[in-house]
Amino acid sequence: MNPEKSKTPIHNSKSVVRLPMIIGITLAAGVLLGSTFFSGGKKLSDVAKGYAKYREVLMLVENNYVDSVNTDELVDFSIAKMLEKLDPHTAYFNTEEATAARSQLESGFDGIGVEFNIYNDTVYVVTPLSGGPSETVGIQSGDRIISVNKENLSGPGVTNAQVYKLLRGKRGTKVDLSIERVGLKERMNYAVVRDRIPTYSVDASYMVDQEVGYIKVSRFSETTFDEFKSALKTLKAEGLKNLILDLRGNPGGYMERATSMADEFIAGDKLLVYTEGKDTRFDRKTRSHIDGLFEQGPLIVLVDEGSASASEILAGALQDHDRALVVGRRSYGKGLVQMPIKLTDGSELRLTISRYYTPSGRSIQKPYELGKGEDYSLDLSHRYDSGELFNADSIKFDKSKVYKTDGGRIVYGGGGITPDIFVPKDTLLNSKYLFELYSKNIIREYALRYANENQKKLEKQTFKDFLQSFQISDAMLSDLVKDASRAGIKPNEKELNHSKSVITSQTKAIIGRYVWGRKQKNGLNNEVFQVLNPSDNVYTQAVQLFNQAAQLEKGKFSSLNIPKNKN
């Protein structure tokens, strides 16, 4: 994921859940409706009584408590504890945190490039930003950051501001992270070099062959729709007839960018999304209204457990209108809308004011209990443990929330977008040796050194020739293993052979991006995706499904190979 001049709300709550915070920028996986202050209410007398009681207690503590106290800290703490009784996404930022977030929006800064949650005083990686330094070294969604530069980051009182302070810094400086990962008993140590957080949200856009195009969108920021439209126009000029839109790992952002994108695919005057809250001022409906660039033609959308909020709005609209075949794994399930409200002292409240619904009436928000967020932030770990990421039969549907698409296909509400075609998470080639290479940045450093030393020779060919003919030789692999040994990673031939195809493809991708991709000014990482996608099991299955996507577009549902109880 990348840039973020986005003012989208941040989902967080101090001890329940802090949803996506981007290091170097504030990008929430939520939906921004606007910053409007509340007024009025039916129970003002009750609110006044509560305020009077709180003020009385605070004054008594300030004037009479035996020791000196920091009143500001008490107020911040009490507000945060109060909000814990609400939903997992309502959040409060004290003045320091709010100032840091706003400064990021204004100018950006250098960091390690991750989005994170804070839950139970532990920092969880939501997703590494695409093309950023954390993704490069192999940090993964769900990783727990235990310490930064040997300073503990896990324990009572860890704050958003503390995380910013430790992870931000001048580009080129190194950050040593201690990571815990699901499925591994031992902690992993990563050396991440800070860099400028990318400012693009369309990561890749290229023609797979003469008819099939691929576009990867990593978030919905201010420039996303313009980037997407430009990419789509270019692909159409190159002969685009079938499109794969990859929303995997996309945590959301501006709702309007997602609905504008949906409008490019959906013809006529159709509902795209609507919101409902207690106050009707925040109810709205968004409909398609323009002649889009790709209203006809087979369309496949890729989603996974990291696709949230605005990503789910887009995927849900396309699925409900039978416009796209959705492939992958069940999406995150974030359907609450936050409104950012700046308070008089510079602090900020992100208050949940409504829910969004797909055209068929589905609420995608996954279940939660007010004030009980224990399982909420750990949902992805639960999905891993339950087997849902590996077996479609492990997905639990709420049979009381059954809805139908325009064509009568059954879809379910109450927990993300379930794909039409399930593809399991591929972990078969993982090994501890591979994780160690990632953690000490061996693959990237070797690839960059090789590219530097052989750049003139490599540049004599086109990237297309490189893609088709270049192979990581045994001698190159041997040099990489020697680098790993010098870094303290013990050779393990069995695990090396097990993960060899991943290591070689990652090395080739980085070489390709460094030699050919770095000269581009449009933010696209086409070279990386062109190397890696052919070994991506979700992608490889998707490119075989355009016949089904074409049948779906024509309304011929009976010929689709889609399990009736899985869509």
Query: Do residue 295 and residue 444 come from a single domain?
Result: no
Query: Do residue 412 and residue 450 come from a single domain?
Result: no
Give residue for tokens 């070099």.
193
Strand pairing class (299-303; 325-328): parallel
Query: Do residue 361 and residue 398 come from a single domain?
Result: yes
> Angle at which helices 500-515 and 474-486 pack, to 10 degrees?
90
49 in any annotated domain: no
Residues of the chain with pLDDT under 50: 1-39, 103-108, 563-567
Query: Do residue 448 and residue 479 come from a single domain?
Result: yes
Query: Do residue 415 and residue 299 come from a single domain?
Result: yes
Query: Do residue 360 and residue 457 come from a single domain?
Result: no
460 in any annotated domain: yes
Q: Nearest CA to 141 among 427, 549, 350, 453? A: 427
Distances, alpha carbon 372 to alpha carbons 65, 81, 91, in Å:
32, 12, 15
CB atoms within 10 A of CB 161: 17
Domain range holding 422? 202-336+354-366+382-427+542-559
The neighbouring-strand residues paired with 144 are: 124, 180
185 in any annotated domain: no
pLDDT, residue 559, reads: 62
SS3 at position 193: strand
**Residues contacting 73, CB < 8 A, separation 6+:** none
Q: What phi and psi values does residue 510 have, to the nearest 5 degrees?
A: -70, -40
Mean pLDDT of the chain: 84
Query: Do residue 287 and residue 391 come from a single domain?
Result: yes
Give residue for tokens 């209410």.
41
Tokens linked to 250: 């996309």
5 in any annotated domain: no
214 in any annotated domain: yes
Output the domain CATH number for residue 301.
3.90.226.10
List, by residue number, the catalytic residues: 309, 320, 334
Distances, alpha carbon 269 to alpha carbons 257, 263, 272, in Å:
18, 9, 9
DSSP per-residue string spanning 39-104:
---TTHHHHHHHHHHHHHHHHHHHHH-SS---HHHHHHHHHHHHHTTS-TT-EEE-HHHHHHHHHH
Query: Do residue 299 and residue 422 come from a single domain?
Result: yes
Query: Do residue 404 and residue 442 come from a single domain?
Result: no
Q: Nearest CA to 124 among 379, 438, 366, 377? A: 377
Please check whether residue 176 is in contact with residue 90, taking contact to mean a CB–CB distance below 8 angstroms. no
Distances, alpha carbon 177 to alpha carbons 121, 190, 214, 536, in Å:
17, 5, 34, 28
**HEC string for 307-323:** CCCHHHHHHHHHHHCCC
Query: Do residue 515 and residue 421 come from a single domain?
Result: no
Distance CA(106)–CA(94), nearest Å, equals: 18
Domain count, the chain: 2
177 in any annotated domain: no
CA R_g for the chain: 24
274 in any annotated domain: yes
Which element (helix H / strand E) includes 232? helix 224-237
**Using CB atoms within 10 A of its CB, is residue 122 exposed (0-12), middle (13-18) or buried (19+)?**
middle
193 in any annotated domain: no
SS3 at position 27: coil
DSSP structure class, residue 223: T
Query: Do residue 329 and residue 360 come from a single domain?
Result: yes
What sign has the CA pseudo-torsion 306, 159, 7, 221? negative
Query: Do residue 332 and residue 290 come from a single domain?
Result: yes
